[in-house]
Amino acid sequence: MLEVNILGCGSSLGVPVIGCSCLVCKSDSPYNKRLRSSIIISQNETRVLVDFGFNIKEQLINSGIYHLDAAILTHEHADHLSGIDELRVFFYIHGKPLNVFILESIAPLIFERYKYLFDSGLLKMNIVNEFQEIKVNNTVFQLFPQIHGAIKSLGIRIEEFVYSCDVSSISVESEKYLYNTKVWIVDCVDYKSTIKHAGLERVFEWVKKYVPEKVYLTNMSHNIDYHEIITKMPPHIAPLYDGFKIKL
């Protein structure tokens, strides 16, 4: 069985946004509190973290998961990367460096910025290519590139589950990974798409094309009120909220 823990489903500023007095930021609802996008994928005893932004320490403590087999970085934006220093703790927990999978095109940049973590052996960098299949224990993670504005992010597929945070369009070579899925978690920053992110109208187009069984929206900004958007969804599409767990 595959389990996905949603550590966060918020966009780069999180929700609430500092200094914002919109209805979503002022909302008391826990469904409208969003830390930065991050998940843990578990299968049997294997646990892999995907992305580690500003909130990662709090997110890991909230999840109660203190054992990880690896971490995957989807792309170099700070809201996915900037908590990398917190992953040092797994060296102390496990007595060995955590394996972090990083795309080859950004590996030199990450290595230069966080040299002290890799040089000291606190983390182990594993360089991957865009279409790499990663095996962690017995779980296979198929990576594929997604267009995210001017850069690329990694999509991740495990069996019939796909995670696509931070994506604006899908290249022809990556489309095959989106067919025949049971659960697809996909970027939905707002109702309208932006240069870097899909919005709800694009998600609807993709759902029509790829026909996933169930779709969950992530990376949502404060322009999305959980209680409002959920009333506009067909039964097979739903917004995520932090702490939600998916089993498949």
User: Which positions touch Zn ion (CB under 5 A)?
Assistant: 17, 20, 22, 25, 77, 166, 222
Q: What radius of gyration do the chain's Cα atoms show?
A: 17
**Beta carbon nearer to Zn ion, 78 or 140:** 78
Q: How far is the CB of 56 from Zn ion (least distance, A)?
A: 15
Q: How far is the CB of 17 from Zn ion (least distance, A)?
A: 5
**Beta carbon nearer to Zn ion, 52 or 90:** 52
Name the residue among 29, 16, 102, 98 with its Cα closest to residue 65: 98
**Beta carbon nearer to Zn ion, 202 or 222:** 222
Place of tokens 């109660």: 64
Q: How far is the CB of 220 from Zn ion (least distance, A)?
A: 12
DSSP state of 35: P
DSSP state of 188: -
Q: How far is the CB of 25 from Zn ion (least distance, A)?
A: 3
**Beta carbon nearer to Zn ion, 142 or 194:** 194
Distance CA 13, CA 10 (A): 8
Q: How far is the CB of 77 from Zn ion (least distance, A)?
A: 3
Query: Residue 21: phi, psi to the nearest 5?
Result: -115, 25
Token pair recorded at residue 42? 């578990």
Token pair recorded at residue 8? 């966060």
**Beta carbon nearer to Zn ion, 22 or 61:** 22
Q: How far is the CB of 100 from Zn ion (least distance, A)?
A: 17
Cis? peptide before 16, omega within 30° of 0: yes
Name the residue among 16, 34, 12, 11 with its Cα closest to residue 26: 16
Torsion 226-231-233-238 (CA) sign: positive
**Beta carbon nearer to Zn ion, 178 or 190:** 190
Residues β-bridged to residue 74: none
**Beta carbon nearer to Zn ion, 21 or 138:** 21
Q: How far is the CB of 175 from Zn ion (least distance, A)?
A: 21
Place of tokens 């759902």: 207
> Kind of pairing, strands 161-164 and 151-158?
antiparallel
